[in-house]
Structure 1
Amino acid sequence: MMNYDLGKGEYENWVVSDVGFSPDTLGKSESIMYLGNGYMGLRSSMEEPYLEETRNLFIAGTFNKFDEYEVTELPNIADVTRLDIRVDGERFSLEFGETKEYVKQLNLKTAELSRSFIWTSPKGKQLRFQFRRFVSLENLHLIGKKIEIEALTDPVSIVIDSGVNAQVTNSGSQHFHEGEKRIFDKKFIQSIQTTIQSKIDVVVNTAHKLTVNGNEVKNNPLMVMERRKVWLQFEAELQPNDCLSLEKLTTVHTSRDKDLFVSRDNYSLESLREVSLANLKAAHARGYEFEFLDSKAAWEEKVWGKYNLTLNSEDSYDLLALRFALYHLTVMTPAHDERMGIAAKALSGEGYKGHSFWDTEVFILPFFIYSNPEVAKSLLKYRYHGLVGARQKALENGYEGAMYPWEAAWPTDGEVTPIWGSVDIVTGEQTKIWSGFIEQHITADIAYAVWQYYKISHDQDFMDNYGYEMIFDTARFWASRLEWNDDKQEYHINNVIGPDEYKEHVDNNAFTNHMAHFNIQLAINYYDELKETNPDILESLQGRLNLADSYLLWKDKLDKIYLPQPREKDLVIPQDDTYLNKKIINLEKYKNQTKVGSMFLDYNLEQVNEIQVTKQADIMILFLLLENKFSQEVKQANFNYYEPKTLHDSSLSLSTHAILANDLGHTDMAYSLFRRAAEIDLGPAMHTSDAGVHAASIGGIWKSTVYGFGGVRMLDGKLRINPRLPKHWTELNFTIYWQGSPLHVDINKDSLKIKSEHASAVEIEVFGKSYTFTGETEIAYRQ
């Protein structure tokens, strides 16, 4: 059972707790309390094993393809969290005996996981257990664990097996060749794995320190090796009030580590082994507490002290939800390496195989653009490196330019979306996944993200070296993708999937058409601009992209692209050519569902395709991205039409509707939608996150707050702030970066205060009025 108010004193509204052990709901806390630092993600499974557990340790960028019939995925690295504990010769498990005072919790501020309880064994002996764990933000390769067992009533014998277990798989798929296993000095364990197809070496090292009542126990542990597994066995006899402590520090390094090996040319496995073992020995000499304090300080400096996001609310859960979002946005993001993206399930579980979607550019990247531009640049460089795979996908599909994959892994891999999915409830056959073939709006979404980053950051160097090429080559794709309709004398985009994935094989999805048009218009604008201001850039790209001919095509086709417009009778924009002609049914049952996807218990996808029902924001996300193209009247009419038909079966959806609802003045509805978005992972439902957290929804929590209630937008290159706080929020504070300058924003019910750290003038728009200031300003307003 989830609890959100156990944090006290300086940790008030910082602690997420599970206060009731259940072997049937392990996935919730394993996912939402997972630990990480962007380099690695460690799922927070229990130390002692359970049938329904999922043990995952992922290292960003270590993709591997198990065999030719499966798609590439992040492989599950060897497990270092499991401990086999025996009490008086019997296996320890909370499924036996009696447990009280059970608390498992994640402290978001310190990024430490802890678990404690008092346990009475089947023999009636009472013991106190405490487990602590962290993944360091200071030393990206380090995992720390500390276990304390105190005998409370009787003498007791404790035996603990601990080491490295490489017998784990990805739901049965074994991605590694077994390498060498070593134990140095009867203390330092080293295990080597190599991915089967991508040939990435992974070196895992671990070491232990055992004490009883503070005195180190130096008797030699039993050393054991089995296939893909190596461990030590520790024994101790405890008298009443004796306390056993076992520290375990682990380091993980791979041959893809950019901080060690810039290229494979200067790589050797031997050097990787030496460096990784040296890192472990240094950490082991300092111990758990010192390494944890370093990580805690890094969190304060790099996260909490940098983002300054706070609010005053009548419901303290709101502040906890925001901190939860910032925590996860940090641990999911490979800020250390531009060759890696963010997975849809972050680094918390096997869901979506570690692949990146449009989630990053539309729902996560805005946070980094405004809050940490250097990380935003790194994430966009990942897409730049992915041009290789995007161009290959375009070529394979008969198009020109860059056609980005719907699901991306290692940037040069190209399309990695699985072809087959779940069972069809009507036919019993496996469902084909069409997204990798015809969900193509991601190409324009990435171009949009490049534009958004440039306009907000003014990073000209990025555009010169990366951005222009991405925008030009994606525009080349769209120009080749357009299909001429001779009857209507206009270009269509047929046979696609839009953001609403409940509508497959549709023509002229409004979001896709408008975004493709935006992409081509953007390319024309930048071509004209560069021709005047920096023709050398055009010249450098001309040979690769045939820009002169492409420009003529763009100019010829742009105004002939069909862009779905509001109907005259009700201002509703057709989501696609046939949506408004499909049958309407009573969706109340599915709108009030307790579990997403409940409609597929009654219908298959083919049947849903013929009903006016929407999976997630489609027209609404168009209004958010291309806000200035549509009037408030049109937005309101479409919100009224589509919101009742949207089931929010995707975690991406609620935050968009929350922002639009707030823009339209429906603040109570906006707050309700915000809360629902914030509860997808963090909330009390115990099975929403079994496969991993919902990364895009977590980004959406920040967007709902800063875009929505804070009213922050970049519109046509200008900063606009139109605050509209929920009625029980009295103050909202955050820091954003605008064109290189940090702006500290304080919002209350009556005024907006902004302080700039730079001396240059800042121009903003607030509720239709323009203001220019230097230093700081306060603007009065009324909601």
Structure 2
Amino acid sequence: MKKYLKVDPWSIIEEGFVAENHEISESIFSIGNGHMGQRANFEEHYTGQSLQGSYMAGVYYPDKTRVGWWKNGYPEYFAKVLNSTNWIGIDVKVNGETLDLATCTVTDFVRELNMKEGVLRRSFTAELPGGKKVKVASTRFVSMSMKEIGAIKYAVTPVGFDADITFSPYLDGDVKNKDSNYDEKFWDEVSKSNRADQAVLTIKTKKLDFYLTSTMTYAVEVAGTKADVQPELTEKEKFVGHSFQVQAKADQEAVLYKYVSNVTSRDHAVDELASVGAEVLTKAVAAGFDSLLDQQKEAWAAKWKDSDIVIEGDVEAQQGIRFNIFHMNQTYTGEDSRLNIGPKGFTGEKYGGSTYWDTEAYCLPFYLSTADESISRNLLVYRYKHLEKAIENAEKLGFTDGAALYPMVTMNGEECHNEWEITFEEIHRNGAIAYAIYNYTRYTGDYSYLGEYGLEVLAGISRFWAQRVHFSKHQNQYVMLGVTGPNEYENNVNNNWYTNRIAAWTMEYTLDVIAYLKENEGARLDALMAKLNLSDAETAKWQEIIENMYYPADEEKGVFLQQDGFLDKELIPVSELDEKHLPLNQNWSWDRILRSCYIKQADVLQGLYFLNDQYDLETKKRNFDFYEPLTVHESSLSPCVHSILACELGYKEKAYEMYLRTARLDLDNYNNDTEDGLHITSMAGTWMSVVEGFGGKKIEDGTLSLNPFIPGHWQSFSFKIVFRGARLNVQVTPDSINIKNETDVETDLIVSGKEVTVKGNETIQVSLAASAV
């Protein structure tokens, strides 16, 4: 764990430049707006270690799969969100010396990500190799109000001497991905143009033909006065740049304002990219940097109005939760149903930026409770649009008759993951897709989704489960062999409890949806049954499987077994391991991990979290007490589930420990991997830990239920919930629960087991002593 950032409720602050921390900071200080994102690379030339990353949402490349041997069913490619045109670049020379923090002596270094405003600022003093000192200050953001615009204010001040300052702003499309399987560059140049007031670069991917046009312009001031410059124009392969010199007297500030538009063929016709880019850029420049910055602040204020969580009495916890909410809001805005949420978002290349089951299992609750329901609906529609591909994926593995296997990793619905134990065996992801439909409809009350989209997806998934199980004469029940559960530290196991349970639950829920449609949308159901060729005989088979599914369990311990034979392992708690072994994935061989009892993330407990209302408190307690001590939490998705269950069980210290771990996972680099990019999808789990954990939020028969408790050293905490048209501000103190309805929509809810009504714009108070926790 590496802690070097200042604790602050609204900002992430790095004081002092330590090169060894730079790639970690590049991830942590990343910015984005749903359309594009940018790692916190320096604008100026930097020869130190760096992972350059500029990303455009939905633009990806099918990098050829690289494996030691090929197996039937393997995907042909691994999708990668591409490192795109470096639009932030501004090389700087002072009296002919290059500004490079790797070769300068750097003092007074401060890097700040202002999460309230969505702005990245940096300042420092650099002593150049020749002994001269300059002060530098930069301000950068990608606009929330004009999604295709990025803006930079870059200021250089010579300290005690007159200086010739050379600025060289540029656009560089000659980039590559660090994780390219064959060190291939993925972009070709299409065109470029260069003139005194503007530079344009258009590149396209070598496959799939995504086009990106970046257009750059700038303005210059010296000592607050606009400077007219005559730039030298530079052109190279996939590169356009300008270079010009200004004279600044001692202690005078020279400022470059750089504006860039990034437009893609996902949103515009290819032959219109240049004109659209120029038009967008013209509007941005006309507004000016300060006005764009004001719009940025307003846009972020609106997001915080719906999603902020306030914690009083624990600044580390406060900073952690806002950091996670900030990155969720800048990664996905929900405006484009073609997009989804990659595990690293716009902060790094690892995992290819593709869609995983993380979206449905962890991200959906955040958007359900903090945004208009159309945003969550778009996440579900994304999967509906990929249903045919999911059926094709299943067919490649030998499944028939419309059985659907959603991919573990995807961009367009095709599976593009190349590890056999994941691609072929981690099939529980199918259950998360089904659960998301259930979660969405029970939360929003939008049951129209079931007939419009939902049943088709559920039927495809249920068909997969029905074909994936088989009847065991030995067990006299249905079993499922050769799977990998959520705990990826076990591969190719038989009867993973969670996978068996979510499979049976999916079929059960599908039958419930059919019954609902039969009663409420009979004509639509008839049409769907005909379209899907879904018969009563097939649904009867599902019912038979539901009633006869095998679930491994140990009666003596009273726990569900993670898989057949789990008790054959040597059960040594994590607490008895020497810390030198942790994290296991960086210190043990894979063989040793697979044979061990150690659990990467919630597995059985994942099922108890999802299907919470189907198990009593004592069952949850026995399983938690058995499995949590064996869990190393080396998946970012693990601590949040444990925190939520610990809250329900009254394990307050464990709940807080797990919360702080998920909230500060990247800020404190718990798993020693933050330099690869942030754990975006687990950040939603941090929100869940507060709202579903400490806040005790559940949906019971269509009614919002809250059963909160407050960690002992907190003075109070509050969170927002958008529920069926109302926005509730819930504040919890050691003595009371205060609920303010910030809308005109009257809302019924259950608070600490008591039914209450909150009228429009009303505030009510309930004693915390009434809480059942």
The two structures share one fold, judged by TM-score above 0.5: yes
Alignment of 1:286-305 (within 5 A): 286-301=287-302, 303-305=303-305
| Aligned-residue offset at 1:489 | 1.8
| Aligned-residue offset at 1:61 | 1.0
Q: Is it true that 1:178 corresponds to 2:177 in the alignment?
A: no
Partner of residue 213 from structure 1, selected from 223, 226, 242: 223
The separation in 2 between residues aligned to 1:482 and 1:561, in whole angstroms, is 9
Which residue of structure 2 aligns with residue 43 of structure 1? 39
Q: Is it true that 1:24 corresponds to 2:34 in the alignment?
A: no
Which residue of structure 2 aligns with residue 108 of structure 1? 115
Alignment of 1:704-723 (within 5 A): 704-723=689-708
Q: Is it true that 1:236 corresponds to 2:233 in the alignment?
A: no
Amino acid at match of 1:655: C
Partner of residue 56 from structure 1, selected from 53, 61, 64: 53
Which residue of structure 1 aligns with residue 422 of structure 2? 435
Amino acid at match of 1:231: G
Q: Is it true that 1:562 corresponds to 2:550 in the alignment?
A: yes
Question: Which secondary structure state, in structure 2, belongs to the residue aligned with residue 273 of structure 1?
Answer: helix
Which residue of structure 2 aligns with residue 496 of structure 1? 483
Maintained 8 Å contact 1:78/1:167: yes
Q: Is it true that 1:117 corresponds to 2:127 in the alignment?
A: no
- Relative to structure 1, the CA distance from residue 109 to residue 757 in structure 2 (aligned partners, 3 Å threshold; closer, same or farther) is closer
- Relative to structure 1, the CA distance from residue 129 to residue 579 in structure 2 (aligned partners, 3 Å threshold; closer, same or farther) is same
Amino acid at match of 1:276: G
Question: Which secondary structure state, in structure 2, belongs to the residue aligned with residue 495 of structure 1?
Answer: coil
Amino acid at match of 2:131: G
Maintained 8 Å contact 2:361/2:436: yes
CA shift digits 1:557-576 (9 cap, x unpaired): 221111334x3212121001
Maintained 8 Å contact 1:27/1:54: yes
Amino acid at match of 1:713: K
The separation in 1 between residues aligned to 2:336 and 2:103, in whole angstroms, is 45
Q: Which stretch of the first structure deviates more once superposed, 616-625 or 550-559? A: 550-559
Maintained 8 Å contact 1:590/1:647: no
CA shift digits 1:185-234 (9 cap, x unpaired): x1211111111111111111111112211222223100010111110012
TM-score of the pair, normalised by structure 2: 0.93
Question: Which secondary structure state, in structure 2, belongs to the residue aligned with residue 71 of structure 1?
Answer: strand
Which residue of structure 2 aligns with residue 427 of structure 1? none
Alignment of 1:44-443 (within 5 A): 44-48=40-44, 49-67=46-64, 70-171=77-178, 172-184=183-195, 186-257=196-267, 260=268, 267=269, 269-301=270-302, 303-312=303-312, 314-372=313-371, 373-400=373-400, 401-412=402-413, 414-419=414-419, 433-443=420-430
CA shift digits 1:486-541 (9 cap, x unpaired): 22221111111000001100111111111111110001111112112211221222
The separation in 1 between residues aligned to 2:687 and 2:468, in whole angstroms, is 34
| Aligned-residue offset at 1:51 | 3.1
Q: Is it true that 1:744 corresponds to 2:754 in the alignment?
A: no
Maintained 8 Å contact 1:183/1:190: yes
TM-score of the pair, normalised by structure 1: 0.92
Q: Is it true that 1:601 corresponds to 2:611 in the alignment?
A: no
Question: Which secondary structure state, in structure 2, belongs to the residue aligned with residue 622 of structure 1?
Answer: helix
The separation in 1 between residues aligned to 2:581 and 2:155, in whole angstroms, is 39
Which residue of structure 2 aligns with residue 422 of structure 1? none
Maintained 8 Å contact 1:61/1:409: no
Question: Which secondary structure state, in structure 2, belongs to the residue aligned with residue 73 of structure 1?
Answer: strand
| Aligned-residue offset at 1:761 | 5.9
| Aligned-residue offset at 1:685 | 6.2
Alignment of 1:546-695 (within 5 A): 546-549=533-536, 550-565=538-553, 567-585=554-572, 587-588=574-575, 592=579, 596-598=583-585, 601-602=587-588, 604-683=589-668, 687-695=672-680
- Relative to structure 1, the CA distance from residue 589 to residue 460 in structure 2 (aligned partners, 3 Å threshold; closer, same or farther) is same
The separation in 2 between residues aligned to 1:343 and 1:611, in whole angstroms, is 30
Which residue of structure 1 aligns with residue 687 of structure 2? 702
Amino acid at match of 1:309: I
The separation in 2 between residues aligned to 1:205 and 1:726, in whole angstroms, is 51
Amino acid at match of 1:496: V
Question: Which secondary structure state, in structure 1, belongs to the residue aligned with residue 304 of structure 2?
Answer: helix
Maintained 8 Å contact 1:80/1:164: yes
- Relative to structure 1, the CA distance from residue 488 to residue 717 in structure 2 (aligned partners, 3 Å threshold; closer, same or farther) is farther
Which residue of structure 2 aligns with residue 460 of structure 1? 447
Which residue of structure 1 aligns with residue 73 of structure 2? none
Amino acid at match of 2:736: S
Maintained 8 Å contact 2:138/2:153: yes
| Aligned-residue offset at 1:675 | 1.0
The separation in 1 between residues aligned to 2:257 and 2:601, in whole angstroms, is 46
- Relative to structure 1, the CA distance from residue 350 to residue 570 in structure 2 (aligned partners, 3 Å threshold; closer, same or farther) is same
- Relative to structure 1, the CA distance from residue 478 to residue 573 in structure 2 (aligned partners, 3 Å threshold; closer, same or farther) is same
Output the aligned Cα RMSD: 2.1
Maintained 8 Å contact 2:661/2:670: no
Maintained 8 Å contact 1:457/1:737: no
Question: Which secondary structure state, in structure 1, belongs to the residue aligned with residue 675 of structure 2?
Answer: coil
Maintained 8 Å contact 1:79/1:166: yes
Question: Which secondary structure state, in structure 1, belongs to the residue aligned with residue 154 of structure 2?
Answer: strand
For these two proteins, the number of residue pairs brought into alignment is 749
Maintained 8 Å contact 1:457/1:740: no
Which residue of structure 1 aligns with residue 498 of structure 2? 511
Amino acid at match of 1:678: A
User: Structure 1 stretches of 5 or more lacking a match?
Assistant: 8-12, 261-266, 420-432
- Relative to structure 1, the CA distance from residue 16 to residue 760 in structure 2 (aligned partners, 3 Å threshold; closer, same or farther) is closer
Amino acid at match of 1:336: E
